[in-house]
């Protein structure tokens, strides 16, 4: 009994002590941002902009050992490089106006390829809503590319606001005197009032966070595959046009893949269940892929197998520590840059206007993360359903026929076209996509397409309907 009373008393004492701690940022507070990609840059941007608005002076150090001005692995950020035009517009509304040298607005449509046929899908609202970009400065041998680094542009933006980029590798993280302490690669270190982890799941730093409050666990992951092919701009335009090509194929453990034209380069992105070389070769040698893009005739100049975040195992924050972007919560398979934007802004808002305790992040940062988590739950159902449908020849034919009919008719409701467009672009939440599949029109037309698919017929490729002059 006495032991129990002591335990309760100690707990109450710890609670009072925690309440008395000052978790607000003040003039001269030091903030470390580990990772200089979009999540780190978005967090730093909003943190400094909001601090300026209330006349608060902060010291912001962004630790990033890579240089996004380099080509290949030295500047690589393991990303397919597709953003929606709506996100580009959202960034512009926040004062982040991307130059044309960074974002190429030349992608006009998606072409979905299956063994039963192909269909070209225009944007459901007839806008060029897709932009191709490079997170670094392009693949190996990309020094003469016209594309500039997206991550480098964001980094330059925040240094213009007063952030300092430190080209150091973080080799350890500790908790000293109630504040996080970072160890640098040169043997030195520094203490900070707040650490924002934005290094992503492909960094070793997230495995060093056990000593920080919150008992952080790295997110669940799987492996993807990215390969860069090089040719001439004219040849790639001739073969692929101004479209992203998506493949839904009946290959075990294969989810989907996209081939993205980027000037004189082509990015091939594969997503599946723990991709390995056997699965990669099965995809690249599939007849549907070879007739679309003959990879054997185009040299691969760069490739990698990055980890993909499948969901956080614990809430991504603690006292004076917050995980933004891929280090914590991101969208399942899609729109990682958009998730980095939302979580970075939410974390900065909490830090500036509320505080940097776990309780502050719980109230003011977690709701944004929770929305993404809940949406991802629906996304898992959507991808599981898609896997079932693409593994059946009957349902593949029905999906194809339904999308073809919608693209051929001028005033057709684009039920399947919208679903496929949003699944591949990440332009809409998974919840919105799921609701679309419950509409009577979607169900009715899908059943009609299933019935028609039962009737033998020839494969055909649907072209987008012509726009009115």
Is the pLDDT score of 159 beyond 50?
A: yes
Is the pLDDT score of 404 beyond 90?
A: yes
Tokens in use for 255?
Answer: 């989810």
* DSSP conformation letters of 158-220: HHTTT-EEE---EEEEEEETTEEEEEETTS-EEE-SEEEE---TTSGGGGG-TTSTT---PPE
Is the pLDDT score of 296 beyond 80?
A: no
Instruction: Find out whether 236 and 246 touch, Cβ atoms under 8 Å.
Output: no
Give the confidence band of 98 by pLDDT, cuts at 50, 70, 90. confident
Is the pLDDT score of 172 beyond 90?
A: no
What is the chain's alpha carbon radius of gyration, rounded to the nearest angstrom? 24
* Cα–Cα distance measured from residue 56 to residue 44, given in angstroms and rounded to the nearest whole number: 14
Tokens in use for 82?
Answer: 């597709």
pTM, two decimals, is 0.86
Give the confidence band of 127 by pLDDT, cuts at 50, 70, 90. low
**CB half-sphere exposure, 469, CA atoms < 13 A:** 0
* Cα–Cα distance measured from residue 153 to residue 199, given in angstroms and rounded to the nearest whole number: 17
* Cα–Cα distance measured from residue 339 to residue 276, given in angstroms and rounded to the nearest whole number: 27
Residue-level pLDDT at 44:
98
* DSSP conformation letters of 323-389: E-GGGS---SSS-HHHHHHHHHHHHHHHHHHT-SSHHHHHHHTHHHHHHHHHHHHHHHHHHHHHHHH
pLDDT in tens, 200-241: 888 878 777 765 655 677 888 888 888 888 888 888 888 888
CATH superfamily of 26-77+151-221+310-378: FAD/NAD(P)-binding domain (3.50.50.60)
Is the pLDDT score of 376 beyond 70?
A: yes
Tokens in use for 145?
Answer: 């590319």
426-429: long-range contacts, CB 8 A cutoff, minimum separation 24? 426/82, 426/84, 426/331, 426/333, 426/334, 426/335, 426/338, 427/84, 427/86, 427/129, 427/335, 429/375, 429/378
Residue-level pLDDT at 439:
94
Distance of alpha carbon 312 from the chain centroid: 14
* Cα–Cα distance measured from residue 332 to residue 184, given in angstroms and rounded to the nearest whole number: 32
Which residue did the predictor score with more confidence, 77 or 427? Answer: 427
Q: Which residue has the tokens 């294969």?
A: 254
Strands 104-107 and 130-132: antiparallel
Which residue did the predictor score with more confidence, 149 or 146? Answer: 149
List the chain domain ranges: 26-77+151-221+310-378, 105-144+223-308, 380-453
Which residue did the predictor score with more confidence, 375 or 85? Answer: 375
- Compute the residue count for the chain: 469
Instruction: Find out whether 141 and 298 touch, Cβ atoms under 8 Å.
Output: no
Which residue did the predictor score with more confidence, 163 or 153? Answer: 163
Q: Which of 67-71, 240-244, 290-294, 353-357 is predicted with the least confidence, judged by mean pLDDT? A: 67-71
Instruction: Find out whether 221 and 201 touch, Cβ atoms under 8 Å.
Output: yes
The correct answer on CATH 3.30.9.90 for the domain covering 105-144+223-308 is: yes
Is the pLDDT score of 168 beyond 80?
A: yes
Give the confidence band of 451 by pLDDT, cuts at 50, 70, 90. very high
Instruction: Find out whether 180 and 192 touch, Cβ atoms under 8 Å.
Output: yes
* DSSP conformation letters of 371-384: HHHHHHHHHHHHHH
* Cα–Cα distance measured from residue 130 to residue 85, given in angstroms and rounded to the nearest whole number: 5
Is the pLDDT score of 453 beyond 80?
A: yes
Q: Is 454 helix (H, G, I), strand (E, B) or coil?
A: coil
pLDDT in tens, 7-65: 444 444 444 444 557 899 999 999 999 999 999 999 999 999 999 999 999 999 999 98
Residue 48's nearest CA partner among 369, 345, 325 is 345
Residue-level pLDDT at 197:
94
Residue-level pLDDT at 53:
96
Mean pLDDT within 86-94: 87
* Cα–Cα distance measured from residue 60 to residue 195, given in angstroms and rounded to the nearest whole number: 10
């Amino acid at each position: 009994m006495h032991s129990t009373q002591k335990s309760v008393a100690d707990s109450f004492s710890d609670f009072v002590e925690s309440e008395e701690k000052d978790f607000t940022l003040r003039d001269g507070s030091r903030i470390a941002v580990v990772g200089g990609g979009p999540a780190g840059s978005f967090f730093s941007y909003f943190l400094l902009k909001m601090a300026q608005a209330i006349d608060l002076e902060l010291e912001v150090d962004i630790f990033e050992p890579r240089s996004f001005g380099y080509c290949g692995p030295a500047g690589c950020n393991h990303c397919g490089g597709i953003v929606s035009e709506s996100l580009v517009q959202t960034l512009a509304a926040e004062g982040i106006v991307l130059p044309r040298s960074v974002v190429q607005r030349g992608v006009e449509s998606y072409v979905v390829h299956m063994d039963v046929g192909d269909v070209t899908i225009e944007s459901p609202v007839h806008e060029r809503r897709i932009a191709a970009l490079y997170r670094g400065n392009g693949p190996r041998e990309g020094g003469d590319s016209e594309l500039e680094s997206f991550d480098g542009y964001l980094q330059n933006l925040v240094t213009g606001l007063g952030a300092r980029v430190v080209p150091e590798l973080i080799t350890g993280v500790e908790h000293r005197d109630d504040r996080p302490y970072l160890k640098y690669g040169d043997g030195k270190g520094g203490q900070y009032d707040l650490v924002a982890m934005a290094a992503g799941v492909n960094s070793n730093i997230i495995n060093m966070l056990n000593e920080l409050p919150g008992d952080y666990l790295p997110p669940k992951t799987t492996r993807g595959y990215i390969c860069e092919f090089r040719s001439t701009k004219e040849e790639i335009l001739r073969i692929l046009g101004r479209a992203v090509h998506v493949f839904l194929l009946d290959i075990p453990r294969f989810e989907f893949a996209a081939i993205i034209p980027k000037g004189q380069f082509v990015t091939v992105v594969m997503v599946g269940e723990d991709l390995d070389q056997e699965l990669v070769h099965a995809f690249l040698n599939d007849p549907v892929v070879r007739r679309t893009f003959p990879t054997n005739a185009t040299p691969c100049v760069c490739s990698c197998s990055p980890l993909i975040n499948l969901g956080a195992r614990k809430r991504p924050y603690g006292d004076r520590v917050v995980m933004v972007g891929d280090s914590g919560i991101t969208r399942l398979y899609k729109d990682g840059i958009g998730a980095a934007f939302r979580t970075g802004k939410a974390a900065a808002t909490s830090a500036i206007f509320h505080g940097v305790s776990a309780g502050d992040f719980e109230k003011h940062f977690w709701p944004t993360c929770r929305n993404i988590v809940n949406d991802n739950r629906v996304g898992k159902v959507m991808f599981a359903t898609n896997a079932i449908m693409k593994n059946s020849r009957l349902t593949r034919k029905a999906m194809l026929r339904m999308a073809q009919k919608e693209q051929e008719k001028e005033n057709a409701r684009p039920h399947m076209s919208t679903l496929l467009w949003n699944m591949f672009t990440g332009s809409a939440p998974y919840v919105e996509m799921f609701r679309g599949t419950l509409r009577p029109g979607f169900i009715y037309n899908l059943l009609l397409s299933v019935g028609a698919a039962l009737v033998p017929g020839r494969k055909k490729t649907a072209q987008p309907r012509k726009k009115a002059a």
